[in-house]
Amino acid sequence: MTATCGPEELLVATLARLLEGCRTIAVGVSSPIPGSAALLARQQSSTPVHVEVLESFTGNSFTEGSVELFDRAAQGRVDAFFLGGGQIDGQANINLVGVGSYPVTTVRWPGSFGSAYLYFMVPRVILFREEHTRRVFVPKVDFVSAPGVSDHGIHRPGGPHALVTQLACFSFDKERARFRLESVHPGHTLADILENTGFEFDHDIEPATTAMPDAETLSVIRGPVAREIARSYPKFAARVFSDRAM
At residue 1, the pLDDT reads 40
The neighbouring-strand residues paired with 88 are: 94, 137
Residue 102 lies in a domain: yes
Q: Is the pLDDT of residue 245 over 80?
A: no
Amino acid identity of 131? E
What are the tens digits of pLDDT across the range 120-170? 999 999 999 999 999 999 999 999 999 999 998 999 999 999 999 999 999
Whether 2 maps to a domain, the answer reads no
pLDDT score recorded for residue 29: 85
- Give the mean model confidence (pLDDT) for residues 32-59: 89
Contacts for 23 with CB less than 8 Å, ≥ 6 apart: 47, 48, 49, 50, 79
Whole-model pTM: value is 0.94
> Quick check: is 1 in a domain?
no
Residue 105 lies in a domain: yes
Q: Which residue has the higher pLDDT, 242 or 47?
A: 47
Domain assignment present for residue 67? The answer is: yes
Separation between Cα atoms, residue 164 and residue 24, nearest integer Å:
20
The answer to whether position 114 is within a domain reads yes
- The residue segments making up the domain with residue 176 are 7-241
Instruction: Classify residue 246: in a domain, yes or no.
Output: no
Asked if residue 19 belongs to a domain, the reply is: yes
159 φψ region: left (φ > 0), alpha (ψ -120 to 50), beta (else)? left
| CATH code of the domain containing 177 | 3.40.1080.10
- Return mean pLDDT, the chain: 93
Structural domains in the chain (count): 1
Q: Decide: helix, strand or coil at residue 73.
A: helix
Residue 57 pLDDT exceeds 60: no
pLDDT at 59: 63
- Across the range 189-216, mean pLDDT stands at 98
Statement: residue 58 has pLDDT above 90: no
User: Which pLDDT score, from 0 to 100, does residue 92 have?
Assistant: 98
What kind and span of H or E run contains 15?
A: helix 7-18
